[in-house]
Amino acid sequence: MSAIKRLSGPSRIDPFLVPFRHYPAAIAGLVGICVFTLAAILAPLIAPQNPFDQGQLDIMNGLLPPMSEMMDGSVSLLGTDAVGRDILSAVLYGMRTSLLVAIVAVSIGMVVGVVLGLVAVMRGGWVDAVIMRAVDLTVSFPGVLLALMLLAVFGSGVDKVILALAIGIWAQNARMVRAVGLSEMKKDYIAAARIGGLGDLRIMFHFLLPNAISPVLVLMPMAISGAIVAEATLSFLGVGVPITEPSLGLLISNGNDYLLSGRWWISVVPGLVLVLMVLSINVVADRLRDHANPYLQARG
Amino acid sequence: MINFVLRRLGQSAILLVIMSLLVFVGMYVVSDPVAVMAGEDATAADRAALAAAYGLDQPLPVQYLTFLANIVQGDFGTSFVYGRPVLDLIFERLPATLEVVFLAMVLGLAFGIPMGIFSGLNRRKPATRLISMITTIGYSIPNFWQALLFILVFAVWLRVLPATGRGPTTDFLGLQLSLFNAEGLRYMLLPAANLAVALICMQTRLARSGTQEVMYQDYMMFARAKGIAPRRLIGRHLLRNILIPIVTITALELGTLIAFSTVTETVFSWPGIGKLLLDSIYRSDRPVVVAYMILITLMFVLINLAADIIYAVLDPRIRYS
């Protein structure tokens, strides 16, 4: 009886979680994403100090290793940097910038890419040719190099980093949507919609979009983790966000100066957080991609 | 085939012209070079004289054509900082970048292929799981932070390798290289390893999927049935069949490696073209930045062209699409 029930009854697991069943690494990644996102959102509430308020910093607390007692008697869990800034607090605030920049850049790149990809499919002809040549131009450079060159022209700033990253992201999305869209266009439901006298815009957004967007959504987590790394790299190189903005890349870059004297925690701690964040997203992204691939699913 | 190559050549030429136009607009039109050069207390007459001296009083299309004509003749201007022709600066530093990239490719092939073949042959062994874990983590560690860890572990804690800079070089066919110099190689090892990690991860995956595919081919079954020793089976029959795509893709990664060398060279203070680019961005040394962008675009156009031609040769279906 119970066996029959187990076989026939619908799964009680939330459909969103189905891809993660039996994959402990992917579940750990999912938990990681939740923890990092929450920590970033709640940073002002949970951080021991506001690391960018000069009034709260005391130079006497400078360069303390992790677990040291600070001047006011509290313990700095992850140590402090040269100006007495608590690394834990700085990292919590830095995650906010990293996540914000990555999510906004990927969202802009996705929307622009998907819309242009759909337009290329619907219009065809020279519109398609122009959009696809622009895609070719963009994807012929590695993302970080493209962003680096754009920032050399724009100058640095949060908005400019977002723009530079989005320019690298839209092209891949446009190319993917166009590829899927072209094959969807040949199907009967599009022909039916046309015969029904529906306008181009309605066909584009009501019929084509829902059917062509899944590959873009599946690759979105990967795009976000890529954007996080790219932003950190650019900020580390000094061409990304300005020094007044907390960012993981900048924190690591500050610590770089103290590495040779053995004060590892200043750049290792923010780097470790960056890696854990990216790793969590990548593990989940890998699982989602494999789950979306029926060939791999069948092989188990 | 000739038609295909000619069409791709034409596309590449158009791409280069568009890119030069974008760089020109970005670097010379969006901000005012006269203001940068003249300084704040220049009089209107000074500015006019400067503009006339550099041809900046001409209409924009004329300026662009002059810019283009100079580039075609190999004249990228003079660096504001070094006071020397930009092209000389870049070609002076190019060997340093290329030798690190070369060593990284060698390291990548030397580690990636054996690891990939092992994983492909032994799908369930713990070592395979370990390799797959390493490649996943390797992909997730940002290049620049990895470089810092290398310095921390090998230069600060273990004190076995130098942290930054380029060691002694030897003269080879007129180029200053560290490759043929034991002390120079020690300086090269960390930067090259830093570039190689991503490459190793990629090649492990390529070699693994290649092995899994080739092992079940009829000729492999036949070779095994014939009683060929496993060593020879892997070394000769398997390796030859998976090596072509791996080496091809690795060679095409040249551009990506040179792009990432900007990061690696900055962390390790390696005097190549990547560090030159960043130093020039910091100091607003425009002619160098512009020249780097144009040359790197040219390089990517050539690499992509080579990739398309190679793929078209390997897969005739591509030519007709």
Q: For residue A147, what is the nearest residue in chain B, using CA coordinates? A: B259
**Residue B118 pLDDT exceeds 80:** yes
**Mutation target vs B (from A36, A141, A289; most B CBs, 10 A cutoff):** A141
Among A68-77, A107-116, B132-141, B162-171, the least confident range: A68-77
Q: What is the DSSP string of A177-204?
A: HHHHHHHHHTSHHHHHHHHTT--HHHII
CA distance A86 to chain B (A): 20
8 Å CB contact of B27 and A153: yes
Alpha carbon distances (Å) from B274 to A101, A292, B95, B295 = 25, 39, 12, 12
CA distance linking residue B90 with residue B274, whole number of Å: 10
CA distance linking residue A202 with residue A208, whole number of Å: 9
- Res B259: pLDDT: 84
The whole model's pTM is what? 0.84
Chain A environment of B151 (Cβ under 8 Å): 259-260
Chain A environment of B139 (Cβ under 8 Å): 282
- Res A5: pLDDT: 47
Please, what is the angle between helix B143-150 and helix B254-267, to 10°? 50
CA distance A233 to chain B (A): 7
Chain B environment of A273 (Cβ under 8 Å): none
Q: For residue A133, what is the nearest residue in chain B, using CA coordinates? A: B15
Alpha carbon distances (Å) from A300 to A285, A294, B218 = 17, 10, 24
Q: For residue B15, what is the nearest residue in chain A, using CA coordinates? A: A137
8 Å CB contact of B152 and A259: yes
DSSP code, position B158: S
Burial string for B84-117 (b: 16+ CB within 10 Å, else e) reads: ebbbebbeebbbbbbbbbbbbbebbbebbbebbb
Asked if the C-beta of A248 comes within 8 angstroms of chain B's C-beta atoms, the answer is: no
Asked if the C-beta of A283 comes within 8 angstroms of chain B's C-beta atoms, the answer is: yes
Alpha carbon distances (Å) from A37 to A99, A263, A270 = 8, 28, 15
Chain B environment of A268 (Cβ under 8 Å): 148-149, 152
Point out the residue among A239, A260, A282 whose CB comes nearest to the CB of B139: A282
Asked if the C-beta of B155 comes within 8 angstroms of chain A's C-beta atoms, the answer is: yes
**Mutation target vs A (from B19, B101, B148, B150; most A CBs, 10 A cutoff):** B148
- The model's pLDDT over B217-252, given as tens digits with 9 standing for 90+, comes to 888 888 888 888 888 888 888 888 888 788 878 877
8 Å CB contact of B260 and A238: no
Point out the residue among A137, A233, A236 whose CB comes nearest to the CB of B15: A137
8 Å CB contact of A140 and B301: yes
- The model's pLDDT over B46-72, given as tens digits with 9 standing for 90+, comes to 778 777 776 777 787 888 888 888 888
From the list B129, B140, B112, B138, the residue with the least C-alpha distance to B211 is B112
CA distance B246 to chain A (A): 19
CA distance B63 to chain A (A): 19
- Res A297: pLDDT: 55
**Residue in this structure with the two tokens 């693994």, named with its chain if needed:** B208
User: What are the 10-residue block averages of pLDDT along chain A, 300 residues in total?
Assistant: 48 70 85 91 79 68 68 68 77 90 95 95 89 85 85 84 92 92 88 88 88 86 92 90 83 81 81 91 86 61
Predicted-complex ipTM score: 0.82
Percentage above 70 pLDDT, chain B: 93
8 Å CB contact of A237 and B144: yes
Chain A environment of B283 (Cβ under 8 Å): none
Asked if the C-beta of A264 comes within 8 angstroms of chain B's C-beta atoms, the answer is: yes
Domains of chain A are 40-53+76-299 (1.10.3720.10)
Asked if the C-beta of A131 comes within 8 angstroms of chain B's C-beta atoms, the answer is: no
B57, exposed or middle or buried, with CB in 10 Å at 0-12, 13-18, 19+?
middle
8 Å CB contact of A152 and B289: yes
- Res B115: pLDDT: 92
Point out the residue among A153, A238, A264 whose CB comes nearest to the CB of B282: A238
- Going through chain B in order, the beta strands assigned E by DSSP cover 170-172, 175-177
CA distance linking residue A250 with residue A231, whole number of Å: 10
The contacts of residue B220 (CB under 8 Å, 6+ apart) are: B214, B233, B237, B238
Q: How open is the CA angle B32-B33-B37, to the nearest 5 degrees?
A: 125
